[in-house]
Structure 1
């Protein structure tokens, strides 16, 4: 498989993801914990009960510092809904904490929108 990214076994530079996103989420289409793109996630420091799958482990690794769901999705190169399901699983296991964005935050703030766009562009 030429072009295979050595850090990501399921991503090919020419072909893209080698597995379908619904496979990563076991066919689920809704997270158990409601999240938005601007929801903040962070690892709790608790150990998962058992071994995590590769995508869950990668998502957990990205939550070492406070970050947004959009940033995690961009770094995982997964659709936001699949990322929300992965993160929701981690919340259910108690290894990640998720907080909704401040309702008083201005979602039309240009800085926030540019940060989201930057994260999404890195996903491409």
Structure 2
């Protein structure tokens, strides 16, 4: 096999160097011992109390996730799409950030727990009557 043929499997002129997902996660497939489930709709927010944290030990993918969360709260699915990484990789990286205290994770309110629209209309009507 020629040297060009060997090198072409690791480098794509248009896409740049190819980095396998396991290289980004250190071979891990689970987000760590945090016990938090990173559902696709889980909301990830940058923890502003850790703003002075040292990001120099983080990988470029970790820093990219922090930058995306710095702008606004993002779902796991949005972060995966914006970073162009597989969801499994994003979950592992978010687990690292959660363990370092750089992000917080919350769940959106399920529709079944939201107040009924009829009740809200009655409250509005009651306030207008005052």
CA contact (8 A) 2:55 2:63 kept: no
* Mapping 1:85-124, distance limit 5 Å: 85-102=92-109, 104-105=110-111
Query: Deviation at 1:100?
Result: 2.3
The DSSP-based 3-state class of the residue aligned with 2:30 is coil
CA contact (8 A) 2:41 2:77 kept: yes
Is residue 73 of structure 2 the alignment partner of residue 66 of structure 1? yes
Q: 1:44 aligns with which of 27, 43, 47?
A: 47
- By percentage of residues, which structure has more helix? 2
- Structure 2 counterpart of 1:5: none
Matches of 1:75 and 1:13 in 2, distance apart? 21
CA contact (8 A) 2:41 2:76 kept: yes
Relative to structure 1, the CA distance from residue 50 to residue 75 in structure 2 (aligned partners, 3 Å threshold; closer, same or farther) is closer
Alignment RMSD? 2.2
After TM superposition, the runs of 4+ consecutive aligned structure 1 residues lying more than 6 A away are none
Q: TM-score, normalised by structure 1?
A: 0.67
Unaligned runs of 5+ in 2: 1-10, 113-130
Query: Deviation at 1:49?
Result: 3.8
CA contact (8 A) 1:49 1:93 kept: no
Matches of 1:69 and 1:13 in 2, distance apart? 29
Stretch deviating more after TM superposition (51-60 or 41-50): 41-50
Number of residue pairs matched by the alignment: 95
The DSSP-based 3-state class of the residue aligned with 1:98 is strand
Query: Deviation at 1:16?
Result: 6.9
